[in-house]
Chain A
């Protein structure tokens, strides 16, 4: 199980780091750069002055409009982008190196919280950046991604596979990701529609809009039920189907967009791996939470 989790983590981080290195940076990097640029351009003062002059609104304190030297802004932006790439590479190195180091120094496994934090920060930055359908829900939508590294930290540091906290972190992150994706599907998210159109198109099926919408609504309901199911009951076929479905939806990206979209597949692997890890853990769900705790207490940490 450890190997499976470690491998899934590696794939996830490769997928997440690739676009940072080759496609313009992370969401957090974009947010930092934009904040700096807006500040350097003196947008707030410019806005305040114009609002006072044009609309008679003096709510914002208007300072003198000062634009920084474009040269210094470019240098700062370049530094921020390097920092963004540096953090991404550090996360990659950690995820690749830690499995080897944790055998000897289990406490080092807590360093997995760094990539977890990085992914969480990026999800939050995506929400702040906006500009994408359902961007505001990015933190719970990406829960399996950052949750996967929290789980790895706990699994490798405690060397216990019967930790109820691990079980619940996995179940809750699965529930969050499936619930948000279900909601997006039910609301007919345009990118999801295009995944269906393009995927079916590849096998020669021209999907009509009503059929596409009907399918998405059904998928949405299914995802919402799966999200509920993973927290309430421990039912292996349901978890296995969640794993399969997570894999299918992740694979739909490169199927629709071509092989260049492999990072999108890789970074979504936790949507499949997390429910499968729940199966491998084999621990009970909500209704039997207390029994699960007592089981753990009976077993000394191994």
Chain B
């Protein structure tokens, strides 16, 4: 069996070759898109592309990035039974048919998801107590178990192939690409608010996969929060996780996810933290280093802006700004919203964004599309920060308030499902809103700041 190369095809080669590769991938996407008709979704066909939760079969895989994306990743999955031995086999070469890999890592964290069972319902009219009990037992939510393998010491800009194994049951082979050690020749996809509208959520997941397949530069997917409606309900998380499998490319490529917590993702049982393997007390906000030139600072608009978060943010930005070419922030509730009122975090966060010359702020929550004019100190300023986003990964879209100054006179707002594609180059960051059908709603370029 011929081993696959560790680098993505034509990565880091000249631009002509890159365009050629993109065209070839577009053809693959066209073929792939025929599998599922986006306009009229067939649930059975969709489900056939997901992995049922059964026994110790690894399902609901995801790669999570919250630290140094060049050298670390957390590979997570779910099983229906607890199992005893959970390992990820990985390496910089494909394992081939016999799935032999150079390295393996036993999961450091395993456990049962915290599930709140629905309250038993009383017998309906004409229903016996035994029948009601039977109905209630059918309503019971099956347990599920998370497994997190934190892998370290990876090589930058390298494809890592991996297979998940739980008690001898193996997944198919997947792979992801680590961030480059330096330089910014890659693309990041951002999107938020997948909390309702299952069909559109699935369509947007397929769109994300299509974007990644058509542009090999796509490195990761940053989710702006509000994955589901009620963060304490496992039955909602498991559907989101199963549907997230649709973002996996046909060749097994997984886009690492950089998570943000939305206002609907909370809950006393802490499922959000179990899903993404985050420590509730210390990892509500974090920085993902995409190489040494791009930093994505993730904030939590469910926690107080002031106090510990503001102190951390200031220290982090003071450290990062002189070092990185691109300093990005992402959080859930918008500071300059196109629909609702601004987040109460704005008086604390925005002055810090201004002070440290953030390059772009990625927002969600409003269920619309928005790109503001550059803003500094609450006013339009060419040297200011552009706030983009507001979330459209499935949730119903809202009408924007067109009269707001920051979306007029150079800004823009609309209402469509979308993802934002950020293409980095040494001189520019190209920000494109990609709609469900692949068309571009907005194409904006932000120039690199002088250092």
Within the complex, what minimum Cβ distance (angstroms) separates B248 from chain A?
A: 15
**A73–B395 Cα gap in the complex (Å)?**
13
Interface residue ranges of B332-358 to A (CB < 8 Å): 339-342, 344-348
Instruction: Please tell me which one of the listed residues B196, B345, B401 contacts residue A41 in the complex, with CB atoms under 8 A apart.
Output: B196
Instruction: Please tell me which one of the listed residues A24, A197, A213 contacts residue B348 in the complex, with CB atoms under 8 A apart.
Output: A197
Are B264's CB and A212's CB within 8 A?
A: no
A6: interface (CB < 8 Å): no
Interface size class of B (residues with CB under 8 A): 35 or more
7 nearest A-B pairs in the assembled complex, by CB-CB distance: A197-B306, A209-B307, A193-B304, A37-B396, A59-B138, A59-B139, A131-B263
Q: A41-B197, A257-B347 are in contact. List 20 more A-B contacts (CB 8 A).
A: A22-B401, A23-B340, A24-B401, A34-B396, A38-B196, A41-B198, A53-B44, A53-B47, A55-B52, A57-B141, A59-B135, A65-B41, A73-B396, A130-B230, A131-B262, A196-B306, A198-B306, A208-B307, A212-B307, A260-B342
- Residue on B nearest A73 in the bound complex, by CB: B396
Interface residue ranges of A255-276 to B (CB < 8 Å): 256-258, 260-261
In the assembled complex, 18 residue pairs joining A and B whose CB atoms fall closer than 8 Å, in A order, are A24-B340, A33-B396, A41-B199, A46-B43, A46-B199, A50-B50, A55-B52, A55-B80, A55-B238, A67-B40, A132-B263, A194-B306, A197-B307, A198-B347, A201-B347, A209-B307, A209-B308, A260-B342
**A19–B341 Cα gap in the complex (Å)?**
8
- Residue on B nearest A30 in the bound complex, by CB: B398
Are A46's CB and B198's CB within 8 A?
A: yes
Residues of A within 8 A of B318 (CB): none
Residues of B within 8 A of A188 (CB): 304
Within the complex, what minimum Cβ distance (angstroms) separates A251 from chain B?
A: 15
A86: interface (CB < 8 Å): no
Are B239's CB and A50's CB within 8 A?
A: yes
Are B196's CB and A56's CB within 8 A?
A: no
Interface residue ranges of B101-150 to A (CB < 8 Å): 135, 138-142
**A54–B245 Cα gap in the complex (Å)?**
12
A234: interface (CB < 8 Å): no
Are B199's CB and A67's CB within 8 A?
A: yes
Within the complex, what minimum Cβ distance (angstroms) separates A115 from chain B?
A: 21
* Chain A 98-115 near chain B by CB (<8 Å), digits 1 or 0: 000000000000000000
B54: interface (CB < 8 Å): yes
**A23–B198 Cα gap in the complex (Å)?**
26
Instruction: Please tell me which one of the listed residues B140, B341, B344 contacts residue A191 in the complex, with CB atoms under 8 A apart.
Output: B344
Are A212's CB and B340's CB within 8 A?
A: no
B303: interface (CB < 8 Å): yes
- Residue on A nearest B305 in the bound complex, by CB: A194
- Residue on B nearest A264 in the bound complex, by CB: B341
Interface size class of A (residues with CB under 8 A): 35 or more
A49: interface (CB < 8 Å): yes
Residues of B within 8 A of A67 (CB): 40-41, 199
Are A43's CB and B198's CB within 8 A?
A: yes
**A78–B403 Cα gap in the complex (Å)?**
18
Are A51's CB and B302's CB within 8 A?
A: no
- Residue on B nearest A261 in the bound complex, by CB: B341
Residues of B within 8 A of A193 (CB): 304, 306-307
Residues of B within 8 A of A256 (CB): 344, 347
Are A43's CB and B344's CB within 8 A?
A: no
* Chain A 43-73 near chain B by CB (<8 Å), digits 1 or 0: 1001101110111111110000101000001
* Chain B 30-60 near chain A by CB (<8 Å), digits 1 or 0: 0000000000110110110011111000000
A207: interface (CB < 8 Å): yes
Are A197's CB and B305's CB within 8 A?
A: yes
Within the complex, what minimum Cβ distance (angstroms) separates B399 from chain A?
A: 7
Residues of A within 8 A of B262 (CB): 131
Are A23's CB and B264's CB within 8 A?
A: no
Known: A53-B47, A194-B304, A194-B345. A23 touches B401 (CB 8 A): yes
Are B197's CB and A38's CB within 8 A?
A: yes
Known: A47-B239, A59-B138, A67-B41. A77 touches B396 (CB 8 A): yes
